[in-house]
Every structure is written in structure tokens, then in C-alpha cells.
Amino acid sequence: MKNLRDVWSTRFHHYISEVQKYMQFVFTGHIAIVLVFLIGAGGYQYSEWLKVVDTDFPAEIVMAALVGILLAFSRPTSLLREPDQVYLLPLESKMPLYFKKALAWTFWSQVWLVALVYIVGIPLLKAVTELTSTEIWLVFFIMIVLKFLSVQGEFCYRYSERGQSVWMDRLIRAVIFGLVIYLALHTQFIFTLVVIVISVVYSAVFRKKCVGEPIPYEHFVKLEQNRMMSFYRFANYFTDVPHLRGSIRRRGWLDWLYRSVPYHKQNTQKYLVFRTFIRTDDHFYLWLRLTAISAVIAAFVDIPVVTWIVAGALSFATTIQLKQALMASGEFRMDMLYPLPEGARKIAVVQIVRLTMIVQAVIVGVCSMGQPMFYLSILIVLIVSEITSKMSKP
């Protein structure tokens, strides 16, 4: 490596390759179908709602709050690694060049989400406000500037405060940025400029505190590890991630659920598999996330066919992934010391997966009660999950 530019370039290319390697498994198969229907149904519902929206709808407040929150979340992507705490110490005086590259990537990798949300909100602004196209796009430009300030501001805060109370910093920036967007949407550009100056001063305070302070390698390395681990957990829902380290949580507030498994020798595996599902983050959040998505679609999309297709696709995804995850436990378990039937675990996994899918079907059915023939959503979830469970490999 000739300099820190080469260090960043090498790590950046490795990071992009790593992301592409797993993302190709994410946007294929059933997820692609679900996304197409979600975008299509969501766009249709949104356009129909705009035709009947009240002119006194608080679009400015909604957009300011939503955009302000998104702007405030500007976690830096440093790509730092644990050995850097030692090997990059001699180059600490030259690290601003490295962080400049890191913050540039952080800005461009995050600004698109805020821009997308604002662009989606433009038809709403045109429907209920008197803003001209020039004023709307001027606010868009202000939002881009605020995102740049937010990225710089959160980095300086984390640098100077070692990551302590970062949520308080985000709350302050969310309020400031939300106020800027609100004033701009009301064409109060003089006051908008004043609040922007306040945000610049706020960030400058922490930038000044960074001068002379040692780089908090430990905090940035931990932040980077957590960011990548979140990505790997997400990718693990679609394909196997070999180096993923799963986490276990007690979840004592769900202990009452274990009573549903009768105390008997023949239920040993069922009890253990049930505890594995409840306490393992990857398994529990997989079911919770897909169930929540299916429930939200059922509750807010008034197109029964879309609800049925999404419910069926997510039922298939939940069943096959949950079954494979619960069956894939290859490490030593205490139940291996006991004389239990060889196929007991397979039977237990099927029973627990069936139980979770019944709960998912009930939740989706309740959320779709406002639609005609809502009971079909329940039947589709149960039938698809049962067929998937029987036809999928153990």
C-alpha cells in the first residue's frame, strides 16, 4: 500500500464485492415477485388516495418529520478493521484523508433514500399545497445540503464524544433538520437560512472538539462490525452466510409460551426446538419480520389478489427458511445424550413451524378483515406453508 488512498480503495472494492455477492441472492426468486407487487400496489393505492386527500392535510408537517428523521440517521461507513487500532496508529496524522473518502461514500450511499422519500412525496405536496415546481426542487436541494451536514456532523460528534449518547445528538439534528424542511416548505427562506446556520454552528462545535483528540478507533471499529453484522443477518434470510455469528436472547417475557408444550418425554425435542425458535434472534426475527410485512400489506392494500399473492409468497419464504434454520443445528446438543427416537427432531421442527404459521395466518387474517373474502388469506397461508413443509428437504 503506497498511501491511505490505496488502503481505502482496496477495502472499498472488497466491500462492494462482498455486498454484491450476497445481494444477488436477495433480489431473486420470491422476493423479486413480492417487491413488484408491493411497488405496484403501493403506487396504485397512493395515486387513488391523492385523488381524495383533503386540502387541509398536514403534508408539510409529515414531510418535515419524515425527512428530518431520515436526515438525522447518518451513521458513518469507515470500513475500519480491528487490527487498525494498532497498525494505523503511526499514520494517525494522515487519517483525515482516509476519513474524507469514507464520509464521501457515506453521503452518496445514504442520500438516495432521503431523495427517494422526498420525490415520492412531491405529488402529495402538489395536491395539497400551493408550492411551485421551482420551490419544491429548491427544498430538494436544501435537503441534499442538510444530508451532507448531517454526515459530517454525526462523524464529528462520534469522534469527539467517543459515540456516547449519540441518540441525543440525532434527536437534536432531527429537530433542527425537520424545522428547516418545514420552514422551507412554507417558503420562509430567510428563517430557513437562519436555522441552517444554527445547524452548521452545532456541527462546528464538535468539529472543533475533535482537534487534538486521538482517533476513537475502538468505537469506529465496533460500529463497522455491527453494521456489517446487520447486513449479514439480513442476507442470511436468503442464503447461507458461513461466518455469521448468531445471537441468543433470554426473552423471559415469552416464557409463558413454553407451557403450550406438555411436560412429557415424547415432547423433549418439541420443547427444545420451541426454545431455540424463541431465543435465537435469526429465527425469531425472521418470522416476526415476514409476518409483519404480510400483515401490513393485508391491512393497507385494498386489492385482495395482491394480498393473497404476497401472503402466499411470504408464507412460502417463512416456512422454508424457518424449517431449514431449525433443522440445520449441527453442533452438539444435550438432547443427544438421551435415548430419543432418531426422527424426533424432524417431527418437532415440522410441528413448531406449523404452529408459527398458524399464528401468522391468524394475524394476516385479522389484518385483512376489511377486504372481501378475507378468510382466503388465512387458507392461502396455511395451504402454502403445509405444502412447502412437506415438499421441502429436511
pLDDT digits (tens, 9 = 90+) for 225-239: 989 888 887 777 666
Query: What pLDDT digit, counting tens, does each position of 3-25 carry?
Result: 888 889 999 999 999 998 888 77
Q: How far is CA 382 from the centre of its chain?
A: 27
Query: Running DSSP on this structure, what letter comes out for residue 263?
Result: S
**Percent over 90 (pLDDT), the chain:** 45
**Percent over 70 (pLDDT), the chain:** 91
- Rounded to whole angstroms, what are the CA distances from 69 to 161, 170, 179, 323? 21, 8, 11, 37
* Phi (first) and psi of residue 215, to 5 degrees: -70, 130
Label residue 29 by pLDDT band (50, 70, 90): low
Reading the block at residue 14, the C-alpha cell is 472488497
Indicate the Cα dihedral angle 250, 254, 260, 264, nearest 10°.
20
Is 190's pLDDT higher than 60?
Answer: yes
Query: Running DSSP on this structure, what letter comes out for residue 238?
Result: T
Label residue 244 by pLDDT band (50, 70, 90): low
Is 2's pLDDT higher than 60?
Answer: no
Reading the block at residue 3, the C-alpha cell is 498511501
- Rounded to whole angstroms, what are the CA distances from 129 to 43, 101, 142, 266? 21, 40, 18, 66
Q: Which of 121, 113, 3 is nearest to 64 (CA)?
A: 121
Is 335's pLDDT higher than 80?
Answer: no
Label residue 339 by pLDDT band (50, 70, 90): low
> CA triplet 373, 376, 382: central angle to 5 degrees?
160
Could you count the other beta carbons within 10 Å of the beta carbon of residue 1? 9
Burial code (b: 16+ CB inside 10 Å, e: under 16) for 28-48 equals: eebbeebeebbeebeeeeeee
Is 40 in a helix, a strand, or coil? Answer: helix
> Mean pLDDT over residues 285-299, rounded?
88
Q: How far is CA 234 from the centre of its chain?
A: 8
Q: Which of 330, 312, 320 is nearest to 276 (CA)?
A: 330
Reading the block at residue 71, the C-alpha cell is 436526515
The model carries a pTM of 0.76
Question: Taking a C-beta distance cutoff of 8 angstroms, is the pair 287, 358 a contact?
Answer: no
Query: What pLDDT digit, counting tens, does each position of 67-112 carry?
Result: 999 999 999 999 999 998 888 888 888 899 999 999 999 999 999 9
The rounded distance, in Å, linking the Cα atoms of 60 and 58 is 6
Domain definitions of the chain by residue range: 45-230, 252-329+338-391
The rounded distance, in Å, linking the Cα atoms of 96 and 152 is 12
